[in-house]
Structure 1
Amino acid sequence: MFKKYFDDYEIGERWHSKGRTVTEADIVNFAGFSGDWYSLHTDVEYAKTTPFKQRIAHGMLVLSAASGLQIFEPGIVVAFYGMDQVRFTNPTFIGDTIHVEMTVEEMQDKGNGTGVLTAKQEVKKQTGETVITGTIKVLLNKR
């Protein structure tokens, strides 16, 4: 999404990423890296006793993977500016394929050759269900 200069975007513009399948290895590696070994993610027998009936991916794993599906073009992107109203709305299971859909909602000219682009971000899986929603802000260079 973030491969054009600030001035080249328009409110309402939409973008759709490629897909990525979440694997068991992703969950194990994320647990090891983050230290989050919560049983819902890593214990098959415990997960069977939950409303999900199986292990689910960490919300932060899915959010991180979604970040990797976005395009952050060097020289155009100055910095990641933040996220607001992030919600984990549905589970992501091992084997689900996620993608990112974004819509430009706001553009704020910073007056110094840059601007902050705010986009609604939805991470969806192959069923069409939204698993994460929120807004993302990125500081972009102007032409």
Structure 2
Amino acid sequence: MTEKSVREFAELTWDRHPLHLDPAYAAQTRFGGQIAHGALMLSLLLGLVKLDPRYVQCFYGLDDLKFRVPTYFGDIVRASSEVTEVRPRPDGQTAVVTCRGELKNQDDTTVLTGLFSFLVGGESTPASQAN
């Protein structure tokens, strides 16, 4: 996690809380220093998990999200996921697949966990090509 990434995320999202951007402010908090946005860490988890675009049609839902520890500048994170449920949809063509996702830092400490659902089906056709 780099300061540059946090600053760019702050600009993109307009979340400019001093905990993320102001070293003097952050040093006085319970965290003792600047930390990355929780939403940035959630986005990293989703980005680091391999999703095959031939089958994953869209992100469908998020449940039981827990931020376990903060991510500091200089931390290195890795993602893992495990399918926990497949619910076929009435259309017979798609299903909602739920995965338990986890992000860990370089010390093997869990940063965040959650259940992430995706709408999946056979090879999807872009809307511009559908009849």
Structure 1 regions of 5+ residues with no counterpart? 1-21
Measured against aligned partners, the alpha-carbon deviations of 1:66-108 in whole angstroms (never above 9, x if no partner) come to: 2211222222112111111111111000111111111211111
Where do 1:6-25 residues align within 5 Å?
A: 22-25=1-4
TM, length-normalised to structure 1: 0.80
User: 1:123 is matched with which residue?
Assistant: 103
Matched, 1:102 2:81: yes
Is residue 30 from structure 1 mapped to residue 9 from structure 2 by the alignment? yes
Q: Does 1:43 align with 2:22?
A: yes
Give 5+ residue unaligned stretches, structure 2: 124-131
Match of 2:68 among 82, 89, 109: 89
Q: CA deviation at 1:40?
A: 0.7
1:114 aligned onto 2:94: yes
The answer to whether the 8 Å contact 1:115/1:142 transfers is no
What is the root-mean-square deviation of aligned Cα atoms in Å? 1.4
Name the CA distance, whole Å, in 1 between partners of 2:36 and 2:111.
Answer: 11
Quick check: 1:65 aligned with 2:16? Answer: no
Q: Which has the larger radius of gyration?
A: 2
Stretches of 4+ aligned residues off by more than 3 angstroms: none
Higher RCO (C-alpha 8 Å, min separation 6)? 1
Quick one: which amino acid aligns to residue 131 of structure 1? V
CA distance in 1, matches of 2:57, 2:42: 21
- Listed one character per residue, the Cα deviations across residues 99-140 of structure 1 (whole Å, up to 9, x for unaligned) are 111121111111421111111111111111111111000111
1:85–1:134 Cα contact (<8 Å) kept: yes
Question: What percentage of aligned pairs have identical amino acids?
Answer: 37
Deviation for aligned residue 1:142: 4.4
